[in-house]
Amino acid sequence: MKLQEIISALNSYGADNSKEEAFLIIEELYKIPRAKILADKEKSYTSPRISEILEKRKERIPLQYILGKWEFMGKEFLVSPDCLIPRPDTEILVEKALEIIEKGDSVADFCTGSGCIGVSLGIYKPNIDLTLVDISRGALEISKKNAQRHNISARFILGDITKDLVGEKFDVIVSNPPYIPSKDIEGLSPEVKKEPRLALDGGENGLDIINFLVNDGMELLKDNGKMLIEFGYDQEKSIRECLENNQKIASYEIFYDYGSNPRCVLIYK
């Protein structure tokens, strides 16, 4: 198949960015740089893997799961249907965390999924005491593999952050929790609905875990600790309502992603 034929097939399956996906497929299978692909657009690619990948995309399986890996913060991470796919929107949370984490800090990544947040922090801030927590055994196994892949030392906890961390205290907590309202799940794209519901569904208003974090979850922070939480682009008002007049919080800041959407909040205990 030629490049344009792959693009056309992906487009007919409903891919949001069929051209980019076509390049990624060829790059992955043939290890050819993009400039070379563009220089010979009429070249025919005959690997049977292309047909296999296209068949899976026809079923709306995300390309990330098909390839088994994805880029985040300039590094490659393993992914599987057990974990959420890393997204560029989340990188602002990591960037802000890197600004506040100090050498020797105890740092916890709650709802770690693939571990892309916590492991990235370990890569760019190597002298920290890192803990990764998830309720999903499958997700935690992926996070372990990603930590090993990037030679990051971490402690892994399989458990529910709302009840299984009694006695734990951290300098910094980061989290990309489930925050989509339950009623909105069915309206998501077919690809997103292939991701684990456990990592998407934030309860009736999408704020079940966030409400826990900004209330009882503050007890998991040391004195003067900090917490960074990702939230939905349309949840800024609800987040502010959660935080205003909260006696456990000294102050907070909201940051926007590179699409100019409110994306994460930094909370000071």
CATH 3.40.50.150 corresponds to the domain 81-268 = yes
Per residue in 7-36, pLDDT (tens digit) is: 999 999 999 999 999 999 999 999 999 999
For 2, phi and psi rounded to 5 degrees? -85, 165
pTM: 0.95
Per residue in 171-201, pLDDT (tens digit) is: 999 999 999 999 999 999 999 999 999 999 9
pLDDT value, residue 59: 97
Please name the residues in contact with 32: beta carbons below 8 A apart, sequence gap of 6 or more. Answer: 26
User: Among all chains, which residue has been given the structure tokens 């069929």?
Assistant: 18
For the chain, the domains span: 3-59, 81-268
Distance CA 11, CA 170 (A): 46
Per residue in 118-167, pLDDT (tens digit) is: 999 999 999 999 999 999 999 999 999 999 999 999 999 999 999 999 99
Q: DSSP readout, 152-189?
A: ---EEEES-TTTS-TT--EEEEEE----B-GGGGGGS-
pLDDT value, residue 245: 86
What DSSP state is assigned to residue 15? -
